[in-house]
Amino acid sequence: MIKLFHIFMLVLHFMHHSSSDDSVKSDCVVSPPPCTKSKYRSYDGTCNNLKKPLLGSSNTPYRRLLPANYGDGISSPPLSKSGQPLPLARYISTTVYPDIPLKDPIWTLNTMQWGQIITHDLALLKTTGSDTCCANDNSTKDEKCWPITIPPLDIMSLVSNTKCMSFLRTDTDRDGKCVEGNQPAEQINSVNHFLDLSIVYGISDESHKQLRENKGGRLIVEQRNDQDWPPHDPTNPTCLGKEKKEACYLAGDTRVNQNTQLTLLQVILLREHNRIADVLFKLNPHWDDETIFQEARKILIAQHQHISYYEMLHIFLGKKELVKEKIIYETEGFVNDYDENVDPAVLNEHSHAAFRYFHSLIAGHLKLVLESRLSFSKVRLSSWLNRPSILEEENNFDDLSRGLATQSEYLADAFHTSEITQFLFRGNNTFGKDLKATDIQRNRDHGLARYNDYREYCGLKRAKTFWDLLGSMSPLVVFKLSKIYKNVDDIDLSVGGSLENHAKPAMVGTTFLCIIKKQFYRTRVGDRFWFENGGETGFTLDQLKEIRKSSISRLLCDNSHNVKLMQPRGFEKISLINLPTSCNNLPAVNLTLWKDPVP
């Protein structure tokens, strides 16, 4: 029923001018899907909100904090205040975001990588068209293609005569003919908007079925070298032309093969589901496959939510700020503050500007680390994009797992590794794509309001001249912006927000902190199935206390092949107060509390 509904449903864009009440207009649909009472979530996010069954479901629009800023007021890319095109995204990338590898002294690469797990769980752009839409003359007939122009004196142009990079505009509700007239276009999120591990379980009833073993509540795996791996996916575009021996995995998310450490964590989560399912099967042999599967899924989602909010998020935003804004609570009991009037949908500004700031944390080379914590080799990031087979070579999975918890992430700053600004997805070519230029172009593609608008929205004084930014940015940064943009009101959100001085102890400036806080509040409070809520959809209090023992360190220990030691706080670097210890010494979730008292 849900499948048929989603095939024929039409989606209405939502105008959101204020974050105070998160009010939105109704969906453009014939009728909402029928909702049956269940203690388990749907895969597509429908019926999480029983009053508004489509709220937060897949294939619905992102929301906005401020109205769109399209050039024509409807869908065309924005223009400068003078009516001229904005500065080239690639020029801004190479001018403002150089490769200066400054390492974070406290936090590990685990932190950055778990951030991508959260990002992929919450959002996926929907694009249609050819990804090779960039011709040498920088022209195309594809209306979805909006190439990123390479300046004449750019190193890509000088060395390889590259004129542009492919860029496809995101699909919107106007493409689906849901809105007419002059209503501004709203981009579509292909996955549901909840933090529910859709990257593991799929985004629909149909997609999740191909992941199920249909026995013992397990997900399908393939065994090689005494280890479990995701099944091969011959239909994934990144797998086309690859032999089965060249690993290309099937998971709940099509981006599973994108980069080595992302894939590693996806494998960890897959194995953790099956580990939990195996224990539940032994505890409750009378349970059928579906019950075991759903209970294991519910537990793993809860672990994911706990690790994300209580172990990782404070690193980005600061713990006091999270408690103050009621994003997390300091309690041993239930939280129970679900609000059906809070829209959980992902904010366009968060997903396509603010949270992308953390691309600066990416390291260009990944360390392989022994049990002694000595690094003996490293892997170049761009050499193994969409090539996860490296994980199955020798002891690489364990060595890279230790590397995640040992290697420093890069500092949250304006500097980006060349692996993502010059060589991203390069394949056999000299150069690849530029992630920072792509972020700026995507900001414009989505018609996000100007940085100055969000600056004012988030409580900072609106800048009338470039020099009014000095309280928020360094003099050098302000000088660069004044040379790139003609008017202070032209500055893109993804640029201005990324250059603000940090609002310590947060790792972001005031504007991005404001946006990200709003997102993670609505993600939690707008989720009826949030793990800290009691009642039929939740856990018993004793079970909840066990869930709160979850940690990234224990997750790596339990699902690697031969990792025996791990520091208690896996997002934090090893130190005298965070020394590696036996995995058996780390707190673990006691699953015996899920034993059915009445077989």
CA–CA distance, 371 with 551 (Å, rounded to integer): 19
Cα 122-47-249 angle, rounded to 5 deg? 40
Pairing between strand 408-410 and 375-380? Answer: unpaired
CA–CA distance, 370 with 368 (Å, rounded to integer): 7
CA–CA distance, 296 with 32 (Å, rounded to integer): 29
DSSP SS3 for 467: helix
- Is residue 359 a known part of a binding site? yes
Q: Is the dihedral of CA 240, 241, 242, 243 positive or negative?
A: positive
Tokens 């940064």 sit at which residue? 477
- Farthest CA pair distance, the chain: 74
Q: 21, 118, 75: which is closest to 354 by C-alpha?
A: 118
Is 13 tagged catalytic?
Answer: no
Q: Identify residue 153 by its one-letter amino acid code.
A: L
- Torsion angles phi and psi, residue 545, rounded to 5: -60, -35
- Torsion angles phi and psi, residue 169, rounded to 5: -70, 145
CB 178 within 8 A of CB 26: no
DSSP SS3 for 348: helix
- Any residues with CB less than 8 A from the CB of 83 and at least 6 apart, and which? none
- Any residues with CB less than 8 A from the CB of 275 and at least 6 apart, and which? 558, 559
Q: Cis peptide before 505, with omega less than 30 degrees from 0?
A: yes
CB 520 within 8 A of CB 344: no
In order of 105, 137, 140, 259, 348, the CA distances from 147 in angstroms are 38, 10, 9, 24, 21
- The enclosing H or E element of 410 equals strand 408-410
| Active-site pick, 13, 16, 120, 416 | 120
Residue set of the binding site for heme b: 359
Annotation: binding site: 359
Which amino acids are annotated catalytic?
120
